[in-house]
A and B are shown apart, each in its own frame.
Chain A
Amino acid sequence: MGYGIKLKVWGDYACFTRPEMKVERVSYDVMTPSAARGILEAIYWKPAISWKIDKIHVLNKISFDNIRRNEVLGKIPANKVKNAIKGGDVSLYQDSNDDRVQRASLVLRDVCYCIEAHFEMTDKAGPDDTEKKHYNIALRRMKRGQCFHQPYFGCREFPVSFEFIEGDVPDSYYSGEKGGEKDLGFMLHDIDFEDENKAVFFRASMTDGEIDVNKCLCYGGLS
């Protein structure tokens, strides 16, 4: 784990939708590990590496806001896309005017997190893929602010600003007297893509603004 990184991420809005309330969206209180992984993958990812989230530091106070957005009802079916690839004559578009629904969301305001993560090599790694190489690429991209696509907080509408942290993690709102251990309930850890895209939950707990993902996983509750 010598090649860990610390990344500060912040934004005006965030919505880490709870699966049980994902239609009329209600956000989790803090960023989920899979959302953090998504941010890192937007900055740098190759099949040879897989990002593992170690800790999430919650730097700002958790506060909610209510918004309503127009979203679409349907999806472009996968079959249609397959058909189009085969050269079929299909129209691949969605008309947002016919296909619209208004959805309410309870979202987070003014979020700021620090992600501590490392990556592991996967079995797709070839002989040229060394940890050092990928670490340095990731580092350079983070420092320069480069990304493959704009990273976002749960929904594409909520972009992430990010900054590489060299030294210590900045102070959290929850360090000091507002701190202590806080149970956040069962939270989505990630999707198990090997096992029928099964959702895997873990009991998240925050101590002085810090969520130690590995420690939480050890406490059990994981199927």
Chain B
Amino acid sequence: MSLLRRSVVIIESLCRYYDILANDESVSISRPGYSSAKVSFNLIISGEGELLNIIDLRSDDKKPRPRMMDVPQQNSRANSVTPYFLCENAKYVFGVEKVKRADYEKKYLYKGGCVLLEDGEKEVVLTHPRSLECFEEFKKLHHSLLDVVNNPAAKGLLLFLDNWNPEDFVKNPKIDQYKDDILAGGNFVFQYERDDDYLHNSSDARRSWEKYNSVGSSKGAIVGQCLVTGESGPVARLHQKIKGVANAQSAGASIVSFNNDAFYSYGKDQSYNAPVGELAMFKYTTVLNHLLLSMDNRIRIGDTTTVFWAETSDKTCENLANFFLNPRDASKDNKENADENQRVKDEKTLQIANDVLKKISRGHKINSDDIKTDRDTRFYILGLSPNNARIAVRFWYMDSFGNFIERVSRHYLDMEIVRGDFDFRYISVRNLLRETVPESSDKGEVSPLLGGLMMNSILNGTAYPAQMYNAILSRVKVERSINYVRAGFIKAYLFRLSRSGLSSLDESLITMSLNEESQNVPYRLGRLFAVLEKVQGETNKDMGSTINSKYFSSASSTPAVVFPVLLKLAQHHIAKSEWGFVSNKSIEEILSEVNEFPEYLNLEGQGMFMLGYYHQRKNFYKKKESSSIKEE
């Protein structure tokens, strides 16, 4: 427990995780002064400054994706002309730009200095004063950094830039091949014809960059106390953009940003409102971008992009956490398409998860042996969701890894309910949230608040959000169908409610499968409804409307109005049915504990009704199976 006494500051824990990753040989994470960027093409330059070849670095998927590379740091540049070192796009490298025809007519046509290079119907390729300025700045930066470097690769690049005329862009045969892709905004890196590696990886270029960077950042900087480390030093004016948060702007968004007057306090500008040291800024943005890129550390819950990490370099934590937050049934789900390695890993993780659940259901505490990793490792979950150019923190959780596993296991145990053969044992929060969305909804968007609320109650082990319960109940009523996910949640909700003493329901009444002893009236009525539905189904095989489609919603909320009618109807069906006496018996048995039909069921009662209905229906199928086996 002593570990947990440490701080819970979001940015500080990200910085600590950066230090762990930076010390881990097997992880590639950018060092200070570098950042990762999406790169599309590699330009091969000769010693004489000629563009020899263009190599496509993108993946060969249906939709080619650029490759991530560690390049000299690219600070966010908003609207200013700020070239990046050795990794840039067409506007800076070639001085040309492609714009939409409408934009061209609006912005450039009547201004001087534009040269139209290619005139398309929808888009035009042109150079304009600003793109030329970009190119010139790019050239200037590289001269200032590479003039001192005495090697042929640097000389070649500088010669290329000196000789390049932006107006020759379309005439160049090498460029022609990839012209559209080049202008789409991807980045280029450079390589000297006789080198095996990219120019930005060469030791000369790196040395020159690091020198420039260390001088550049401290120049004119405001010094203050860093609120992450507590040390005094230069304060970062702009923070690097965070990329990979779903629905945020594609260029990235910021956690720390001040883009309006109302956000300033005490006469301070921009990020000086929140003094974060340069190094701390670099660490937290780099590691957060790293986490957001990694499939093993990221899941989506509703509209919230969630990253999680354990403060260790041991991968077991990550695998297990990934499984618990985003469970897959290894045996069913990815038998075919996953590779062998992945499957073995999944099965191993599934085994650990099953053992953990078994142990917790017996009321034991888990220890480090059970989860094959240190129980006291600190574990963090950070839920982010975008709000235009900014990122909001939806939830923030930190605890020991063992506690986290126990809490989440508790959730799965509470959710557990009798289910069909093809249903998954573990339901991810994402799938659970999807059950609240109408089938007819095009976008399938979950209410933005539910995800955060659900995660909060799972991680803190508290009662589930009532909003979620209401949403599920109304889905069941409207769609008149209850699957194991919905039934599971209703059960879990009622269970936690009664366990925390917030409900008059007795904990023992809420069971995993059919409880014939339960005398809870709404539960019995739910069972009765299932029986009545079956009776009707047995008599008339092909009906347009059933009692389910007509009466489900009203039966679950106002039983006194509906059930007398239904029972009368049922007598007709039973009279006609061959096995009517069996149904009659079960109706009698169920009604034996019901003295009168309640006028009205509250939300808890409605949940119990649906649970009874679900259990009873599942029970029919089970009986059928076992009896058919007997007959054989």
Contact = CB atoms under 8 A, between A and B. Distances in A.
Given A66-B452, A197-B268, A75 B262 contact: yes
B570 interface: no
A94 B153 CA distance: 59
B258 A64 contact: no
B273 to A, nearest CB: 6
A170 to B, nearest CB: 23
Contacts of B268: 197
Given A19-B273, A181-B5, A71 B255 contact: no
* Interface SS of A by simple majority: strand
A22 interface: yes
B7 A185 contact: yes
B263 A23 contact: yes
A186 B8 CA distance: 10
A81 interface: no
Nearest to B9: A185
A106 interface: yes
Contacts of B258: 22-23
Contacts of B265: 22
B260 A29 contact: no
Nearest to B389: A23
Contacts of B264: 75
Contacts of A29: 8
Interface centre among B387, B390, B392, B394 (most CB of A within 10 A): B392
A110 interface: no
B257 interface: yes
Contacts of A203: 230
Interface string A209-223: 000000000000101
B396 A186 contact: no
A186 B267 contact: no
Interface in B203-246: 224-225, 227-230, 232
Interface stretch (A38-46, A97-105, A111-119, A149-157): A97-105
Nearest to A102: B387
A72 B230 contact: no
Nearest to B230: A221
A212 to B, nearest CB: 16
Contact of B225 (A64, A184, A223): A223
Nearest to A204: B7
A20 B8 contact: no
A74 B260 contact: yes
A132 B329 CA distance: 72
Interface centre among A24, A188, A199, A201 (most CB of B within 10 A): A24
Interface in A1-36: 18-24, 26, 29
Contact of B392 (A63, A104, A182): A104
Nearest to A181: B5
A199 B261 CA distance: 19
Given A20-B256, A24-B255, A72 B262 contact: yes
- Is the interface on chain B under 10, 10 to 19, 20 to 34, or 35 or more residues? 35 or more
B261 A66 contact: no
A200 interface: yes
B6 A183 contact: yes
B11 interface: yes
A75 B385 CA distance: 26
B228 A26 contact: no
B510 interface: no
A198 B390 CA distance: 25
B397 to A, nearest CB: 9
Given A26-B10, A64-B456, A197-B268, A19 B227 contact: yes
A26 B394 CA distance: 9
Interface centre among A106, A185, A188 (most CB of B within 10 A): A185
Contacts of A23: 256-259, 263, 390
Interface in A170-202: 180-186, 188, 191, 197-201
Contacts of B273: 19, 22
A38 B387 CA distance: 30
A198 B268 CA distance: 9
B395 A66 contact: yes
A63 B397 CA distance: 11
A73 interface: yes
B507 interface: no
Contact of B394 (A66, A73, A102, A198): A66
A179 to B, nearest CB: 11
B262 A198 contact: no
Nearest 5 pairs of A and B residues by beta carbon:
A185-B7, A24-B392, A104-B392, A185-B9, A197-B266
28 contacts: A19-B273, A20-B227, A21-B10, A21-B393, A22-B258, A22-B273, A24-B390, A24-B391, A63-B460, A73-B261, A74-B261, A75-B264, A101-B260, A103-B387, A103-B392, A104-B387, A180-B1, A181-B5, A183-B6, A183-B7, A184-B7, A186-B9, A186-B12, A186-B227, A186-B228, A186-B229, A199-B227, A200-B225
Given A104-B387, A182-B4, A183-B7, 17 more contacts: A20-B274, A20-B276, A21-B10, A29-B8, A75-B261, A102-B387, A103-B392, A104-B393, A181-B5, A182-B5, A184-B8, A184-B9, A186-B230, A188-B227, A197-B267, A199-B227, A201-B225
Interface of B: 1, 4-12, 224-225, 227-230, 232, 255-268, 273-276, 385, 387, 390-396, 449, 452-453, 456, 460
